């Protein structure tokens, strides 16, 4: 399959950064505040991907807690989420890969289910980007896997959605891309919680540094 995107849109957690240890700390703050047992890293991965409200539903269910605690859990999570943003680890090769795509003249976007405040804190602390458009879990009414955040990212980049490529690590990202009619590049090194369904991804990346090579020199001339 030949891929000729005119802009690249990235997921954040599990795609550009290994953020699970920092997210786990925020989950533990929620558990401390609500007197709940604390999940380990592997369990916590299963809560991540669909945004804060879903993560808190999953955490409360795992802890056998009263679902009516959900509102407080979301508040505690939002308060804890932005702490220590500089502790998140940029995956190997990501900075070089982003720089190379920029050299190739490709506008870059970010579409994440992480809320705006912790997302901005991470981008600032890690000096990641620049991204021409950033759409987060609480930017619009709906979050991934609804296609709106991804379509809005493309719109803000000024590129037709069908001319973009979405790069992500989870089944949620895959569903979002499919719903938006955008080709999907799957990064295998993140937080996949369920098998990817159909259609198969346009690209499978074992390392983020492999991404620029996926685009032909023909595409660079067109871009
Ligand atoms: O906040 C989440 O649940 C996951 O965030 P992501 O969309 O950047 O992977
Ligand atoms: Mg992700």
213-223 pLDDT, tens digit per residue, is 887 544 544 44
Q: Do domains 7-18+88-222 and 20-85 have the same CATH topology?
A: no
Mark whether 163 is an active-site residue.
Answer: no
In this prediction the pTM is 0.95
> What is the Cα–Cα distance from 33 to 79, expressed in whole angstroms?
11
What's the pLDDT band for 183 if we cut at 50, 70, 90? Answer: very high
- Does residue 14 have its Cβ closer than 6 Å to ligand 1? yes
Rounded distance from Cα 222 to ligand 2 centre (Å)? 30
pLDDT tens digit sequence for 71-126: 999 999 999 999 999 999 999 999 999 999 999 999 999 999 999 999 999 999 99
Domain limits, the chain: 7-18+88-222, 20-85
Q: What rounded mean pLDDT belongs to the chain? A: 94
Which residue from 13, 19, 128, 149 has its CB within 8 A of the most atoms of ligand 1, so it is best to mutate?
13
In the prediction, which pLDDT does 214 show? 87
Which residue from 54, 112, 122 has its CB within 8 A of the most atoms of ligand 1, so it is best to mutate?
112
Query: What share of the chain has pLDDT > 70, as a percent?
Result: 96
**CB under 5 Å of ion ligand 2: residues:** 11, 13-14, 169-170
Ligand 1 atom with minimal separation from the 144 CA: 7
- Does residue 113 have its Cβ closer than 6 Å to ligand 1? yes
Which residue from 11, 56, 118, 167 has its CB within 8 A of the most atoms of ligand 1, so it is best to mutate?
11
pLDDT tens digit sequence for 156-170: 999 999 999 999 999
Please tell me the CATH superfamily of domain 7-18+88-222, with its number. HAD superfamily/HAD-like (3.40.50.1000)
Query: What share of the chain has pLDDT > 90, as a percent?
Result: 93
- The catalytic residue among 11, 13, 148, 173 is 11
What would the mean pLDDT of 168-197 be, rounded to a whole number? 97
CATH topology assigned to domain 20-85: DNA polymerase; domain 1 (1.10.150)
In the prediction, which pLDDT does 219 show? 52
- Does residue 115 have its Cβ closer than 6 Å to ligand 1? no
- Does residue 49 have its Cβ closer than 6 Å to ligand 1? yes
Residue 197 reports pLDDT greater than 60:
yes
């Amino acid at each position: 399959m030949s891929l000729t995107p005119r802009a690249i849109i990235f997921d954040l957690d599990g795609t550009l950064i290994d953020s699970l240890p920092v997210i786990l700390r925020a989950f533990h703050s929620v558990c401390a505040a609500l007197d709940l047992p604390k999940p380990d890293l592997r369990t916590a991965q299963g809560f991540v991907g669909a945004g804060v409200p879903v993560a808190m539903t999953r955490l409360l269910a795992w802890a056998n807690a009263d679902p009516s605690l959900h509102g407080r859990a979301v508040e505690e999570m939002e308060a804890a989420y932005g702490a220590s943003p500089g502790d998140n680890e940029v995956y190997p090769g990501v900075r070089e890969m982003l720089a190379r795509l920029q050299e190739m003249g490709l506008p870059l976007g970010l579409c994440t289910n992480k809320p705006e405040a912790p997302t901005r804190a991470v981008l600032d602390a890690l000096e990641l980007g620049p991204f021409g458009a950033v759409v987060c879990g609480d930017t619009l009414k709906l979050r991934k896997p609804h296609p709106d955040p991804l379509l809005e990212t493309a719109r803000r980049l000024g590129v037709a959605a069908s001319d973009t490529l979405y790069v992500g690590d989870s089944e949620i990202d895959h569903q979002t891309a499919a719903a938006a009619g955008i080709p999907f590049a799957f990064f295998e090194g993140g937080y996949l919680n369920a098998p990817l369904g159909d259609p198969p991804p346009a690209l499978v990346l074992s390392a983020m540094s492999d991404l620029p090579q996926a685009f032909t020199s023909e595409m660079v001339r067109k871009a």
